[in-house]
Structure 1
Amino acid sequence: MRDLQVFCAIMECGGVTQAAQRLRISQPAASKMLRQAEDRLGFQLFVREGKRLVPTAEAHALLPEWLGAAAALDGVSRLADALRKGRSGRLAIAAVPVLATALLPYVVQAFRTRQPGILVSLRACTALEAAHLVADHRADLAVILGQSADPRIERERLGTSTIGCVLHPGHPLVHRRRLSLLDLADQPVISLSPQQPVGALLRQAMALEPHMGQVVVEVSQSSIACALVRTGAGVAVLDGFGLLEARTQGLSVRPLQPVLPLEVCLLRPRHHAQSIPAALFTDLLRETAREALAEGHGRG
């Protein structure tokens, strides 16, 4: 790269001294680099006429290609510097919907403060789809509820979210500090689908309770369940992040007995080194998830 810069500077300035001054190096260093370049090439690039160096025909022939190589190398250097300092790049994140809305916005905001040049792509999807996106290297990271058995990915447990109930502030059961499955026996229950971890856990627990009622409304996202609770359509059973989302909407939240714990997990490709932005995002995610889960348990 330095040889290219010296050659181009001499072509423009007509002398080694002027070229060295432009490049802020010593005249002997510039002369040495020119000689080294000529030795490697096997022919002269300049001939001296008086006080000037005149380019040879070979130098003129090389100039267009040399300029292109110099521009390409400079572009690589600038891109590497931008990637190192977080001024360029892309980070793709996949997450189940409730985490995409209740947890990741805070992580993305903290990440953007530190890495403003990185484009963040956030995709909400099912846990199964998120695992496939990571395994196929179409997402750098994924955050899900529950576990994944895909051998192509590695899983890190971020914490445990406890399932609870969401009620309308005027609901008759709102005066109770905690609710049991029996309390829900005569209530219209709103649940996530059984294909989702929360819905599956709820149905397993209900199957063990002989006097338990039935789910009357199935939804795909916690935000939909909260909207239904606001209309008085029933009592929703959601994970801890869904409960946080419900609180922000002014709904009442109560713990559910028996306790139904649900793991919050980070997924990343197995045997694949993380990029600098992905490593920073992971650190921020761990911290934010720990704080959010502590808040959810403390206020449950």
Structure 2
Amino acid sequence: MNLRQIEIFRAIRSTGSVSAAARQLSISQPALSKALKHAESQLTFKLFDRVKQRLIPTFEAEALFAESQRVQDALDRINNLARNLADTPQRTLRVGFQPSLGGGFAPSVLARLPRNMDTMSFEIFTHHYDQIIERLLSFRLDMGVALFLIPPPGIRTIPVGKMRMVYVEPQRAGMPVYRDKPMRLEQIDTTSLVGLEREAPLGKALEKAFMQVGQDYTPRISVHTLSVAAACAAEGVGPAIIDEFSAHSTPGLSIQPLEPEQSFEIVALLPESRAESRAEAAFIDLMTRVYRERNKTLPKNSQTLARRNT
């Protein structure tokens, strides 16, 4: 018997008539009668006897009913799971952020979680790019969020936004937080910089950008993450080139755009072996909206510069 025949069999047994079973299953009485006859033909025995205008299960039917209850219980569990997934798509979402995004961008996203995610829990990690890829492929992360690099086989990317780099130094008396005049790369003395190590993807990108304007990239102090570079700049260790998210969330900095603009695409990373869950799709959508909101709420002069450089 297939699942539809089992459903019809159970409906007739519970109602005692073909007409009542047809109404219960929202199908026509002739269609149900035909399906019952087809099932009995396949089984080679009757499932019901008519006694005083009521269909009574045969001995064989009662034996089948006991076994069919297990099938029904399994279907009920599947339906309950489907309803739970619809209400709460995923109980725990494990997201790995690159350090450059984990300090400034991730908190902004988490602060705007919608109410339909209230019943979910989140595990937020900061990993370097290679670690994110390895953990995605080994299913120890559900999603990664990183600056775009060519992903290895088995990983796909979904665009989220763009991260601009800015020049920062300690804010001194009379110095504005946001300065309209861009800082040109060739004007920067890289020996005074708190820079990113050359082995890091962003460090390599900055080194290439300085080389294109005829400047060596030789930071006096090299650090591993943008958040550390931001904190060092605020403490007066030296100027730094950091992402705009870290810059806007670190007090005590004076911020300038760079010329030529240095920007990197932010992407969500997911295994190619599966589609994103409803929770993951919602989180990606949230990140995209937060990115757009952050751009809209930048100070007026920074918005002007963003439009000028786009």
Is TM > 0.5 for Structure 1 vs Structure 2? yes
Contact 1:190-1:219 at 8 Å conserved across structures: no
1:54 matched to 2:56? The reply is yes
TM-score by length of 2: 0.69
Correspondence for 1:238: 242
Correspondence for 1:195: 199
Q: Residues 106-255 of structure 1 correspond to what in structure 2 (within 5 A)?
A: 112=114, 122-136=124-138, 139=141, 141-155=143-157, 160-170=162-172, 177-180=181-184, 185=189, 189-203=193-207, 209=215, 214-216=219-221, 218-222=223-227, 224-246=228-250, 249=251, 251-255=253-257
SS at match of 2:45: coil
Contact 2:226-2:243 at 8 Å conserved across structures: no
Judged with a 3 Å threshold, the aligned counterparts in structure 2 of structure 1 residues 128 and 186 are, in CA distance, closer, same or farther, namely closer
Q: Give aligned pairs, total.
A: 295
SS at match of 1:163: strand
SS at match of 1:76: helix
Contact 2:226-2:242 at 8 Å conserved across structures: no
TM-score by length of 1: 0.71
Amino acid at match of 1:216: I
- Measured in 2, the distance between the counterparts of 1:52 and 1:171 equals 94
- Measured in 2, the distance between the counterparts of 1:17 and 1:259 equals 74
CA offset digits 1:142-194 (Å, max 9, x no partner): 33224135243344665543321233332787686444567764985333443
SS at match of 1:262: strand
Amino acid at match of 2:262: L
- Measured in 2, the distance between the counterparts of 1:39 and 1:116 equals 53
Larger displacement relative to structure 2 (32-41 or 112-121): 112-121
- Measured in 2, the distance between the counterparts of 1:281 and 1:101 equals 17
CA offset digits 1:239-271 (Å, max 9, x no partner): 23322333xx46432224554343434434457
- Measured in 2, the distance between the counterparts of 1:150 and 1:16 equals 59
Give the CA deviation at 1:68: 1.2
Correspondence for 2:98: 96
Which stretches in structure 2 are left out of the alignment for 5+ residues?
306-310
Judged with a 3 Å threshold, the aligned counterparts in structure 2 of structure 1 residues 180 and 128 are, in CA distance, closer, same or farther, namely same
Give the CA deviation at 1:126: 1.0
Give the CA deviation at 1:66: 0.3
SS at match of 1:161: strand
Residue from 46, 67, 70 that aligns with 1:68: 70
CA offset digits 1:201-227 (Å, max 9, x no partner): 4455667546x87333524352x4444
Residue from 3, 6, 14 that aligns with 2:5: 3
- Measured in 1, the distance between the counterparts of 2:186 and 2:44 equals 91
Judged with a 3 Å threshold, the aligned counterparts in structure 2 of structure 1 residues 271 and 60 are, in CA distance, closer, same or farther, namely closer
Judged with a 3 Å threshold, the aligned counterparts in structure 2 of structure 1 residues 275 and 157 are, in CA distance, closer, same or farther, namely closer
- Measured in 2, the distance between the counterparts of 1:66 and 1:274 equals 35
After superposition, the CA RMSD in angstroms is 4.2
Which stretches in structure 1 are left out of the alignment for 5+ residues?
none
SS at match of 1:243: helix
- Measured in 2, the distance between the counterparts of 1:231 and 1:40 equals 83
Amino acid at match of 2:168: V
Among all aligned residue pairs of Structure 1 and Structure 2, give the percentage whose two residues are the same amino acid. Answer: 29
